[in-house]
Structure 1
Amino acid sequence: MEDITVEDLKQRIESKEEFVFIDVREEWEYEEDNLGALNIPLGALPHQLGEIEQYKNQEIIIHCRSGARSGNAKKFLETKGYNKVRNVLGGINAYREFED
């Protein structure tokens, strides 16, 4: 599935669209800047797949600080059969820049 821009993400959050939203940053990063996503750090993702198993056939949008970790998370989830995963390009850094 194609990745998503921060502009698209912001619009979808503001319009309260239904999607599964996961933040793969570390807990301390999440606490500093939280967009309301479920926090599962990238390193913990393989061990916490059970938490998101019920969303396997739904659209999942993943973000991190810059888009690198979430890109890796997307690739990992795709190998586990999740085929509707989208990475937020530029991550929270780009999201905050877009907001200003």
Structure 2
Amino acid sequence: MMTIEIITTEELEKKLEAGEKLELVDVREDEEVAQGMIRGAKHIRMMTIPENLGQFDKEKEYIFICRSGARSENVCYYMQDQGYKVRNMIGGMLNWAGEVVVK
């Protein structure tokens, strides 16, 4: 099985603080993201990823986020199979110590 590139919550926080433009996709359910998301993340629920492939660009790298890192890892395998560049944020939002925004 192909491996998935990962990023830790600390690494991601540093990149965002440094002003890097990143493509973040939160795949949690609506009631979960209602508790707060990482600033700049797009919300596309895991089960709706296949029908939303048109929103993704194969030239860009996407960082997938969920609560613990398990669902986002599954999404990463799927997206990588479709030919997209992906990274999984390991530890998920449970491990995220940075700022969150509530929509």
Give the alignment's TM-score, normalised by structure 2. Answer: 0.85
Among the aligned pairs, what percent are the same residue? 39
1:79 partner amino acid: D
The equivalent of 1:95 in structure 2 is 96
Aligned residue-pair number:
95
Any residues of structure 2 matched to 1:1-100 within 5 Å, and which? 2-36=5-39, 37-52=41-56, 55-82=57-84, 84-96=85-97
Secondary structure at 1:48 match in 2: helix
Q: Mind listing any 5+ residue stretches in structure 1 that lack a counterpart?
A: none
1:32 partner amino acid: Q
Secondary structure at 1:32 match in 2: coil
Q: Mind listing any 5+ residue stretches in structure 2 that lack a counterpart?
A: none
Which of 26-35 and 61-70 deviates more? 26-35
Give the alignment's TM-score, normalised by structure 1. Answer: 0.87
CA-CA distance at 1:14 after TM superposition: 1.2
CA separation in 2, counterparts of 1:47 and 1:59? 19
Give the number of the structure whose residues are more often strand, by fraction: 2
